[in-house]
Amino acid sequence: MPVSMDALADDLAAESAELRAVLAALTEDQWRQETPAEGWTILDQVSHLAYFDDVALRSATDPDAFAAEKAAMDAEGGVSPDTIAARFRSMSGADMLAWFDEARIDLIAAFRELDPKTRVPWFGPAMSAASSLTARIMETWAHAQDVYDTVDATHVPSDRIRHVAHIGVGARPFSYLAHGLEMPDVPIRVELTAPDGATWTWGPEGAPDRITGPAEDFALLITQRRHQDDLALTVEGPAATEWARIGQAFAGEAGTGRKPL
């Protein structure tokens, strides 16, 4: 079945609406609360989403402007999420929410009109428009988790978790690259139980190296929002064990993961 940009856009809009409902209720002090991501407040989490929404929009609609922005970052040593976050710490929570709203609305509207196969540039290899929008879903889900954890809100599981898992599985080679390791030529079977009880699978059925369990737990692992010890995942085989330790669905430098709760 062909990828539907409308379906992806609808999923991103739904994930965004759930996060926005939590953000809209925050006091200014809560916007400044530290999240489980060391050194990052809720304001930082949201500025990261809004900023990269704007960048993703430029990559799809004005690739020359994106290339110039990327070149400037490369000249300064590359993309630094911490440096980017620091730029916007003087903004109020209300202004940050308004920016997030505008950036997300503009991004979704523009990507709805794109052919899913259209190639768009990024900080790593170019990707399809469908993959770029899926990445925005993953990023929103992951950063929203940090916000929800901070204010003790519930992140209700939905089938949108499949996007997070799919990117995480596909990012296995990058996870090794980010850690300066060589990925073993060993297939891994991933079998996850979806929120509705369905089974989602990746990899050959008979592979001895396997990761199985709840889809939400795999998403938390592969976005490094929970330590493996706190998740109901079964990991079998040396290749799967190593990947579970270093896996990351997000781009950039190797993540440091989270300590057990």
Report pLDDT digits (tens) over 11-40: 999 999 999 999 999 999 999 999 999 999
Q: Output the domain CATH number for residue 61.
A: 1.20.120.450
Structural Rg of the chain based on CA atoms: 18
DSSP lists the bridge partners of residue 213 as 192
89, 124, 139 - which closes a domain: 139
CA–CA–CA angle 40, 246, 175 (5° rounding): 90
Q: How far apart are CA 202 and CA 223, in angstroms?
A: 17
Report pLDDT digits (tens) over 214-245: 999 999 999 999 999 999 999 999 999 999 99
Domain extent at residue 188: 162-246
Residue 259, in any domain of the structure: no
Same domain? 171 vs 212? yes
Same domain? 16 vs 124? yes
Q: How far apart are CA 161 and CA 198, in angstroms?
A: 13
Report pLDDT digits (tens) over 105-140: 999 999 999 999 999 999 888 999 999 999 999 999
CA of 178: how far to CAs of 182, 186, 250, 252, in Å? Answer: 10, 18, 10, 7
Residue-level pLDDT at 187: 98
Q: How far apart are CA 159 and CA 221, in angstroms?
A: 17
Same domain? 122 vs 176? no
124, 139, 154 - which closes a domain: 139
Q: How far apart are CA 12 and CA 203, in angstroms?
A: 26
Same domain? 240 vs 180? yes
Residue 59, in any domain of the structure: yes
pLDDT band at 252 (very low <50, low <70, confident <90, very high): confident
Residue 181, in any domain of the structure: yes
Residue 144, in any domain of the structure: no
Report pLDDT digits (tens) over 102-112: 999 999 999 99
**3-state SS class at 82:** helix
Residue-level pLDDT at 46: 98
Please give the single-letter amino acid code of residue 181.
L
Asked if the model's pLDDT at residue 251 lies above 90, the reply is no
Domain total of the chain: 2
Same domain? 74 vs 197? no
